[in-house]
C-alpha cells in the first residue's frame, strides 16, 4: 500500500505545532504587522483589550498581568522554540519563516470550516489517516476494530498479515480514547462509544489538501479478521505525546458522570480548551475538584470554572520523582472507573507522557484513586481555595 507525500499545510502544521492555536497564529500576525519589536507588556495589553471586544476601559490590571504571565512563561517561548518568532526575553518579532507558515496553514482552511476545530484535528498524523480512510470507504458506518485494521495497514505500509496483534490493539485503544472523540467533538465523524461504530458525518468538509492517498479499504466495515481487543477498557496503556495527554484529559472530563478530580502539579498545562471542557462538566452536574500549587492557575480556574472546587494541594503532590527525570505533571480521576497519571521531563510541558486506564477494577484506576484519597486525608483536603488551610 502506498501513501502520497504529506500535503504542504500538514507538513507545516506538524513542524509548527503551536499554529494549531488560533491565538498563536494571531500573535504571529500581530508581530508581523509591527514596524518594531513589541514587549510582552505591550502584547499583554493588546490581548486584554481583545478579550473585552476592543474596549480598553473595561480592561483590569489583573487581566493584563495574567496575559503577561501566560506570554512570558508559555506562548512566547514556545513560538520562539519553533522559529516562528524571535524572542530575547525583552521583545518579540515575527520571523519570515513564521509569517510564511501561518499563511500556508490558514490558506488550507476551507471557507466553510471552523479553522480552530480543523487544525486541532489535523495536528495529528493518526487523525489525518483516519480522515483519509473514512473519506475513501464506501460504507456508511464502520466498526472500530475494522477502522483500526485499516489505519494500521496505512501507517505500517504493510499487508494485514504482517500487522501484529499488539499494534492493532495500540491503534484501536488510541482511536477509542483519543482520536475518535476528538473527531466527534469537531463534528467530522459520529462515534458511538457504546457500539464502537463510526459514521462519516462531515469528512468532506476537511478538504482534500489535508488527506493522504489511500486505497479504498473495504475491510473497515468488518473486524478485518482480527479481534483487536474490544475489552480494551480493562487495559492500562501509555500515551507518548503531550497533545494526546491533553486530549485524554478532555475525554475524561467529557465522560465523567458524578465526580472529576484533577491535580495540576506543573505550570503551563491548563489550556483554554481544557477549561471549556471542565466548565461544561460542571454545568451538567459533575462535581469537579481541581488542585494546583500555582496561585495564578487557581485564579484562572476560579474565573473560568466558578462551580468547581479549587484547592491548593500539599507540596508532596509535585515534589516526588516518578522514575528517572520524570516528575508528576497532572493526575485525573473520573468517577471511580477511569484515571490518568502524567509526568514531564524537568518541567518541559512538551515532553509530557502518561499512563491511563479504564474499568472499576482496573489496577491503575484503583491505585490512583487511593493516592488521591490518601493525599486528601493527609491534609490536602478539597476545600475552596480561599478556605483551604494550605493556601498562602
pLDDT digits (tens, 9 = 90+) for 130-149: 988 888 877 678 888 888 88
Q: With 60 as the cut, is the pLDDT of residue 377 above it?
A: no
The highest-confidence range among 250-259, 276-285, 296-305, by mean pLDDT, is: 296-305
347 Ramachandran zone, left/alpha/beta (phi>0; psi -120 to 50): left
pLDDT of residue 229: 42
* Higher pLDDT among residues 30 and 218, named by residue: 30
Q: What is the mean pLDDT of residues 198-214?
A: 79
Q: Is there a shared CATH topology between the 8-108 domain and the 236-377 domain?
A: no
Segment 388-392 shows an average pLDDT of 32
- Across residues 23-44, what is the average pLDDT? 93
Residue 93 confidence (pLDDT): 96
- Assign domain 236-377 to a CATH class: alpha beta
**Cβ 4 vs Cβ 212: under 8 Å:** yes
Mean pLDDT, to the nearest integer, of 318-328? 54
Query: Residues 43-64: what's their mean pLDDT?
Result: 81
Q: How confident is the model at residue 211 (pLDDT cuts 50, 70, 90)?
A: confident
Angle 385-388-390 from CA coordinates, rounded to 5°: 110
For 7-23, the pLDDT digits (tens) are 578 888 888 888 888 88
Segment 177-198 shows an average pLDDT of: 89
- Give yes or no for a contact between 28 and 75, defined as CB atoms under 8 angstroms apart: no
What's the pLDDT band for 272 if we cut at 50, 70, 90? Answer: confident
Count of beta carbons in the 10 Å neighbourhood of residue 32: 16
Q: How far apart are CA 172 and CA 176, in angstroms?
A: 6
Average pLDDT over residues 34-41: 94
Answer yes or no: are the C-beta atoms of 357 and 339 closer than 8 Å.
yes
The domain spans of the chain are 8-108, 118-230, 236-377
Check whether 222 has a pLDDT greater than 80: no
Asked if the model's pLDDT at residue 35 lies above 50, the reply is yes
Are the CB atoms for 172 and 152 separated by under 8 Å?
A: no
Specify the pLDDT at position 159: 66
Average pLDDT, the chain: 80
By the 10 Å C-beta count (0-12 exposed, 13-18 middle, 19+ buried), 106 is classed as middle
Q: Convert the pLDDT of each residue in 125-134 to its tens digit.
A: 899 899 888 8
- Fold topology of 8-108: Arc Repressor Mutant, subunit A (1.10.10)
3-class secondary structure per residue, the chain: CCCCCCCHHHHHHHHCHHHHCHHHHHHHHHHHCCCCCECHHHHHHHHHHHHCCCCHHHCCHHHHHHHHHHHHHHHHHHHHHCCCEEECCCCEEECHHHHHHHHHHHHCCCCCCCHHHHHHHHCCHHHHHHHHHHHCCCCCEEEHHHHHHHHHHHHHCCCHHHCCHHHHHHHHHHHHHHHHHHHHHCCCEEEECCCCEEEECCHHHCCHHHCCCCCCCHHHHCCCCCCCCCCHHHCEEEECCHHHHHHHHHHHHHHCCCEEEEEECCCCCCCHHHHHHHHHHHHCCCEEEEECCCHHHHHHHHHHCCCCEEECCCHHHCCCECCCCEEEEEEEEECCCEEEEEEEECCEEEEEEEEEEECCCCHHHHHHHHHHHHHHHCCCCCCCCCCCCCCC
pLDDT band at 225 (very low <50, low <70, confident <90, very high): very low
Closest CA to 151 of 183, 117, 174, 119: 174
Residue 57 or 376, more confident: 57
Instruction: Give the pLDDT confidence score for residue 217 in this predicted structure.
Output: 56
Q: What are phi and psi of 306, to 5 degrees?
A: -65, -25
CA 369/CA 365 separation, integer angstroms: 6
Q: Cell numbers of 263, please?
A: 491535580
Check if the beta carbon of residue 120 is closer than 8 Å to that of residue 194.
Answer: no
Amino acid at each position: 500500500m502506498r501513501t502520497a507525500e504529506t500535503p504542504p499545510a500538514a507538513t507545516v502544521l506538524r513542524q509548527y505545532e503551536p499554529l494549531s492555536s488560533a491565538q498563536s497564529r494571531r500573535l504571529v500576525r500581530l508581530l508581523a504587522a509591527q514596524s518594531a519589536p513589541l514587549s510582552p507588556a505591550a502584547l499583554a495589553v493588546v490581548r486584554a483589550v481583545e478579550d473585552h471586544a476592543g474596549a480598553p476601559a473595561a480592561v483590569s490590571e489583573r487581566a493584563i498581568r495574567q496575559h503577561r504571565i501566560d506570554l512570558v512563561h508559555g506562548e512566547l517561548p514556545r513560538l520562539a522554540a519553533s522559529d516562528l518568532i524571535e524572542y530575547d526575553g525583552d521583545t518579540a518579532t515575527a520571523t519570515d519563516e513564521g509569517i510564511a507558515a501561518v499563511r500556508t496553514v490558514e490558506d488550507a482552511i476551507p471557507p466553510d470550516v471552523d479553522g480552530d476545530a480543523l487544525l486541532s484535528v489535523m495536528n495529528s498524523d493518526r487523525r489525518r489517516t483516519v480522515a483519509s480512510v473514512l473519506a475513501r470507504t464506501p460504507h456508511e458506518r464502520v466498526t472500530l476494530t475494522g477502522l483500526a485494521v485499516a489505519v494500521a495497514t496505512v501507517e505500517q505500509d504493510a499487508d494485514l498479515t504482517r500487522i501484529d496483534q499488539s499494534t492493532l490493539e495500540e491503534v484501536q485503544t488510541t482511536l477509542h480514547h483519543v482520536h475518535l472523540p476528538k473527531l466527534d467533538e469537531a463534528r467530522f465523524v459520529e462515534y458511538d462509544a457504546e457500539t464502537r461504530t463510526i459514521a462519516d458525518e462531515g469528512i468532506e468538509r476537511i478538504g482534500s489538501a489535508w488527506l493522504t492517498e489511500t486505497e479504498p479499504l473495504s475491510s473497515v466495515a468488518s473486524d478485518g479478521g482480527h479481534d483487536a481487543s474490544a475489552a480494551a477498557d480493562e487495559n492500562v496503556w501509555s500515551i507518548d505525546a503531550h497533545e494526546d495527554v491533553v486530549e485524554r484529559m478532555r475525554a475524561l472530563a467529557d465522560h465523567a458522570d458524578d465526580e472529576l478530580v484533577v491535580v495540576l502539579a506543573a505550570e503551563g498545562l491548563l489550556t483554554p480548551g481544557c477549561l471549556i471542557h471542565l466548565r461544561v462538566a460542571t454545568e451538567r452536574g459533575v462535581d469537579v475538584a481541581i488542585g494546583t500549587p500555582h496561585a495564578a492557575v487557581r485564579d484562572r480556574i476560579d474565573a473560568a470554572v466558578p462551580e468547581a472546587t479549587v484547592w491548593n494541594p500539599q507540596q508532596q503532590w509535585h515534589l516526588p520523582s516518578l522514575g528517572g527525570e520524570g516528575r508528576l505533571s497532572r493526575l485525573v480521576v473520573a468517577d471511580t472507573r477511569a484515571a490518568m497519571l502524567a509526568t514531564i521531563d524537568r518541567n518541559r510541558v512538551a515532553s509530557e507522557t502518561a499512563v491511563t486506564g479504564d474499568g472499576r477494577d482496573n489496577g491503575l484506576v484503583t491505585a490512583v484513586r487511593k493516592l488521591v484519597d490518601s493525599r486528601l486525608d493527609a491534609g490536602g483536603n478539597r476545600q475552596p481555595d480561599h478556605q483551604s488551610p494550605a493556601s498562602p
